[in-house]
Structure 1
Amino acid sequence: MYGKCGMVKKARLVFNLDGMEIRNERSRDVVLWTSMLGVYGKNGHYKEVIDLYNEMLQEGIKPDGIVFLTVISACGHTGQVHAGVKYFESMTNDFKLNPGPEHYSCLVDLLCRAGELHKAWELLNERHYNGIGKCSVSMWGALLSACVESGNIELAKLAAQRALELDPQNGGICVMLSNLYAQFGMWDEIVRLRVLIKQRGLRKDVGCSWVQVTM
């Protein structure tokens, strides 16, 4: 409750009080630690997420998948790419946890935030071809969005193609790709994209701008 209200210090006070209830044989379990990590993460206290995770390990608490999701996300917001990859690998190497699609999405987001687009592409391809599991549209969409921001046309095309293979009716993917083409004046590509959208009967318009003229 305190965390959702942005009252981080009060949330931490409750967390600390629970840890002091030794006489009642109460101890902070992984659920409570996860809750406090989530409070820090949702309120932008990313450094505190990492510090609390290390404190959690010192207390002998084994982290679960939700903990790693919060920690990797915090690394993405603080630009700690190598640390985020290390935590991702630690899931399987140290704690025998299998990363789910949400962990891969978080790692892709981390790499994209740091401009490591090709590493994100390699990660998704490895998952796609090695039978680890299907990549979701959101994973390819995160890569596509980063490509649009950085102006990486070739990688954007590949990411959009993979996303549309999974969801041919996803108009948002076409819009992002069209926006990238417009940045570089690639009008022929936009025309081809409009034809594709029309053929598939997508409802979302592409690259539309409005100008109000007053007389």
Structure 2
Amino acid sequence: PNAELRPQVLQIVEALSQHAPEMLGQVDAVLAHLLPTLASLLTVSVSGDCRFLCLKLLCDILLLMLGEPGIYQPRGEDAAQPGSTTARLNTLVQEQLLPVCPSLLDDEDPIPLYTLKLVVALLEANPQLIASAARLGLAPRFFAFLSLEHTNNNVHNVRLCRMVVGAEGMVPDEVLAQHGVAEKVAAVLAYAFDNSVEPFMEPVLDICRALLERTVEAMR
């Protein structure tokens, strides 16, 4: 939209996004026009507030669509059918969303938080996207955030680290050692236990298990 009208248009889209039935009832228009336009605004010279609102809208709308089996079936036959909603969503994610995530993670707060929230939702809905995220160099970024001192050390990032560490063949053991993942996980686990941070406990313990499984496999 025109730069002068952009804030008003985004406010209208935000209002529409609160009405799930209407949004899901127009899924073709959302996929063909709305989501690509919002994604394109993440890379142009717009204000931080505008980028954040576009990212938030993308996150809200995609979370809605990913949770609808009739729209997104990454493990079904629909995923391989050109023109299906699943295939179109995967294309949007791989061509427009994941490639801009590295720059969004360097953006002003709270853009990195919403980026992590979006990426973890995408990868949990379709684990095959972990390979795409790894190729874009996102795994080391997640490991860098896995620190008690880092502002992006949140439950979304911990869940991302769990998926990356547990994904077979995606990240070599040498990369995990280079980023001190084992030591960071131990520190985060101790903090979560001492402070009763329940949302951290399960994903951090899963990372510990994945690291142990890697160690056992390497010793065979």
Does TM-score exceed 0.5, indicating one fold?
Answer: no
Work out which of the two has the higher radius of gyration on C-alpha atoms and give 1 or 2: 1
Write 1 or 2 for the structure with the bigger share of helix.
2
* TM-score (normalised: structure 1): 0.45
* TM-score (normalised: structure 2): 0.44
Higher relative contact order (Cα pairs below 8 Å, separated by 6+ residues): 2
